[in-house]
Amino acid sequence: MLQNLIITFTIVFPFMAYLAIGIGLKRFNVVDDDFTGKLNKFINRVTLPVNIFNSLYSKDLSAMAKSPATPYVLTGTVLVILFLMWFIKRIEPDYAKQGALVHTGYRGNAMLFALPIAQGIFGDDVAEITIVLAVVVLINNATGVPIMEHYRKLSKIQKGEATKEGSKFSLSKTLMGWLKTPLFDGVILGVLWSLFRIPMPAVCGKVVSALAATVVPLAFIVLGARMDLDHLKANSRNVMTVVFMRLVLFPAIFLIYPIAAGWNERLIVAVLVAFGCPSAVVSYSMTEAFECDGEMAGEVVSLTSFFAMFSLFIWIFCFKQFGLLA
């Protein structure tokens, strides 16, 4: 047990350290919101797509087309959305707050948090996990606008500000949105590079690897710097309910079948990080943009980001203890 605790600690500690560095830099005014905002854009538009490409381009992806994890996580994400929309309205009467809780409850920080965690466990050999997480981001992007527009409309009606404006789902706009997203440029380019077995010059490979290696420290330092610690004082029952579901309940439920079916350790970790990563930072700004409760969304984002380090430590330790992770 002690050995597994030490191994788990060595996996999780760097991420905790990067978060702490980010928090410290912000507290001592070394960085400000403008700097971290620009750095966050750089990560999302440059280094993270390169990181995704790096995890895919040199791998044999042919066998991954038959992976059971992709349809499983896709179906699970849809079920989580439907469950939250059904459950949240039974504990929260305010539609603006419902929108915040539903959005942060299902929309996880898949690429910017979950992928680095997977890389912390397996190194660069995370092609299967990258594909699964890419599917999660796809479904999140496809459902985000219609769901938030639904709650904005209900909120306006509830406040007596009835409106005729609506938002219909557009497949063409959704596909174009995906293609214009740098993250998916990294996925598509990496998949095509692998399928056509395009050779990578050694000198170029070094540049790609070096850029990819910057994602983990930079992403977590920025996450720490942008974390609002005042939200950690929140004691809202509904906020804590969503935090618990996001970090504990959903991964526990969706890990049952992969473990029982004997999936390999990478697929089990893929399911864990897909359903057990903290709420996406973008869900806060998007909730505000759709006139729902941005403050509540910020509480969920901050709390899940803070507690995810502890919950993932426990999950990884349990996997080690029960032989699910080598």
What pLDDT, on a 0 to 100 scale, did the predictor assign at position 96? 92
Euclidean distance between CA atoms 41 and 20, whole angstroms: 21
Tokens of 321: 């203890």
Check if the beta carbon of residue 151 is closer than 8 Å to that of residue 292.
yes
* CB distance 15 to 220 below 8 Å: yes
DSSP 301-321: HHHHHHHHHHHHHHHHHHHHH
Q: Does 326 fall in a domain?
A: no
Residue with tokens 């991964």: 251
279 beta partners: 108
Q: Does any domain span residue 242?
A: yes
**Who's near 289: CB < 8 A, 6+ residues apart?**
148
- Asked if the structure places residue 164 within a domain, the reply is yes
Tell me the average pLDDT of the chain. 86
Q: Report which residue type is found at 130.
A: T
CATH code assigned at 241: 1.20.1530.20
Q: Which domain holds residue 70?
A: 2-321
Other Cβ atoms within 10 Å of 199 Cβ, number: 8
What's the domain count of the chain? 1
Is there a domain that residue 150 lies in?
yes
Residues of the chain with pLDDT under 70: 62-65, 162-180, 229-235
What amino acid is encoded at 320 in this protein? K
Output the CA–CA distances (angstroms, integers) from residue 40 to 86, 159, 288, in the order listed: 34, 35, 19
pLDDT of residue 310: 93
pLDDT tens digit string along 38-53? 998 898 888 988 988 8
What's the pTM value of the predicted model, to 2 decimals?
A: 0.86
In a domain, 162, yes or no: yes
Beta-carbon count within 10 A of 151 CB: 25
Residue 110: its pLDDT value, please?
82
| C-alpha torsion angle, residues 183, 113, 303, 146 (rounded to 10) | 30
Chain center to CA of 152: 24
Residue 24 lies in a domain: yes
